[in-house]
Amino acid sequence: MRISTKAMHEGRLFHPEGAHTPPIFQTGTFSFKSLKEAIDVFKGKKIGFAYTRVGRGNPNFLMAEETIAGLESAQDALIFSSGMAAINTTVQNVAAGGGHIVCGRTLYGCSEVLFSKILPRLGLEFSFIDARYPENVMKAVKKNTKAIFLETPTNPTLELADIKAISDIAKERKILVIVDNSFASPYNQRPLELGADIVIHSATKYLNGHGDIISGVVCASKYFLREKDNSLEEWRTNQGPVPSPFDCWLLLRGLLTFGQRMETHNNNALKLARFLEQQSAVKKVIYPGLKSHPQHELAKKQMTGGFGGMISFELNGGRKETRKFLEKLIKNSFIGLAVSLGYAETLIECPAVMTHASIPRNERLQKNITDNLIRLSVGIEDYQDIEESFKEALDSLK
């Protein structure tokens, strides 16, 4: 099956009464038909459901997990209450007991705070590198290195990491490669096919696509997720970061239109990026699908479905011009000034004062997160309406 069809049909369990739409299993606990069945489930001899936080959790979990695993070409997947819960649980599991993780230098703001401030208090070590250059990985690896954590494209600067090249290096040293694939989505990029070991998503974003849930997912081998001693499922059970059955149901519903949404996100973003490049008020446009992107050839190689719905750009000027543009845009158009991304609606934000505000300015500037950098999540509205909204706001800067 092609990916759009997989998103619609893979992993769906149909109710014995014949309900075409999967029901919501809004329950905390499950009854057993016999004591033997209960014993077999708790001993792991039989796959079943006991309590929505424990083990397999809930049929709504299972449906979402199997569908997303299929999209990522993964053996299995594990659903979480948020993308950050998925990242935190995975990284702690991999590096527990003083392990070291090599990270790309540019990350989502909350991931950066987690890695630089919170997890080091628990004894985990992190090194931050410019992951655009695979040789930097080799230089950062230590004896206790357990994993390499990458965002590609990065948030918000849209830098790329060569997943295959870095995975080849990691495999020689028996180090895991973890990729946060939230920006690209499995429609455009499937890291496991390029050699990565673990893929993480904020399912809040493109997978759901409607902005009505918070969820995360980890895609990997069955061994890592469920079978090994100290498995990720065991950590989820005992740490408790599970989603609600209703959120999983909404995620599954959102996936029905995943292929169609991603195709429109891709097309609208490429056209808008080309439009922005031609505007005198715009200093620079960063989009992997543009020939001007310094890693465009790598993007063509590993982003096989398209270049995604995320654009970053800088305006000529500074904070004053950035504020004027944003105020004009949100006042006179349907475009929302908001964090998050991957929604059906177009959203815009200024990382320096929003998603990455917790990072000191000098550190931000070293990562090219300037005061006039704008991050744009291009929606699936009619393209002409999006372009006209931007043209009016940009013209106000002339």
CATH code of the domain covering residue 300: 3.90.1150.10
Instruction: Indicate if 243 and 292 belong to the same structural domain.
Output: no
229 & 283 share domain? no
The CA–CA distances, whole Å, from 113 to 96, 340, 353 equal 18, 17, 15
pTM to 2 decimals? Answer: 0.96
Write out pLDDT tens, residues 3-37. 999 999 888 876 667 888 899 999 999 999 999 99
Do 70 and 87 reside in the same domain of the chain? Answer: yes
Q: What is the rounded distance in angstroms from the CA atom of residue 384 to the CA atom of residue 46? A: 54
pLDDT score of 306 more than 70: yes
Q: What is the pLDDT of residues 272-288, one digit of tens each?
A: 999 999 999 999 999 99
Please tell me the predicted confidence (pLDDT) of residue 318: 87
158 shares a domain with 77: yes
Q: Which range marks the domain in which residue 187 is found?
A: 3-255
Q: Is the pLDDT of residue 43 over 90?
A: no
Q: What letter does residue 395 receive in the DSSP assignment?
A: H
Report the DSSP beta bridge partners of residue 398. Answer: none
- Pair (285, 386) in one structural domain: yes
| Residues 215 and 279 placed together within one structural domain of the fold | no
For residues 249 and 265, membership in a common domain is answered with no
**Confidence class for position 44, pLDDT limits 50, 70, 90:** confident
Mean pLDDT of 42-55: 90
| C-alpha dist (Å) from residue 222 to 47, 75, 101, 131, 140 | 14, 6, 22, 28, 29
pLDDT for position 18 = 80
pLDDT at 19: 84
pLDDT for 14: 65
How many domains does the chain contain in total?
Answer: 2
- In DSSP notation, 22-40 reads PPP---SB---SSHHHHHH
Higher-scoring residue by pLDDT: 242, 317 = 242
Whether residue 192 sits in one domain with residue 282? no
Domain end among 238, 255, 272: 255
- CB 214, CB 82: distance < 8 Å: yes
Work out the percent of the chain whose per-residue pLDDT is above 70.
Answer: 99
Does residue 247 sit in the same domain as residue 280? no
**113 and 246 part of one domain:** yes
Identify whether residues 95 and 225 lie together within a single domain: yes
**Catalytic residue IDs:** 53, 108, 180, 205
- Based on the fold, state whether residues 248 and 264 are members of the same structural domain: no
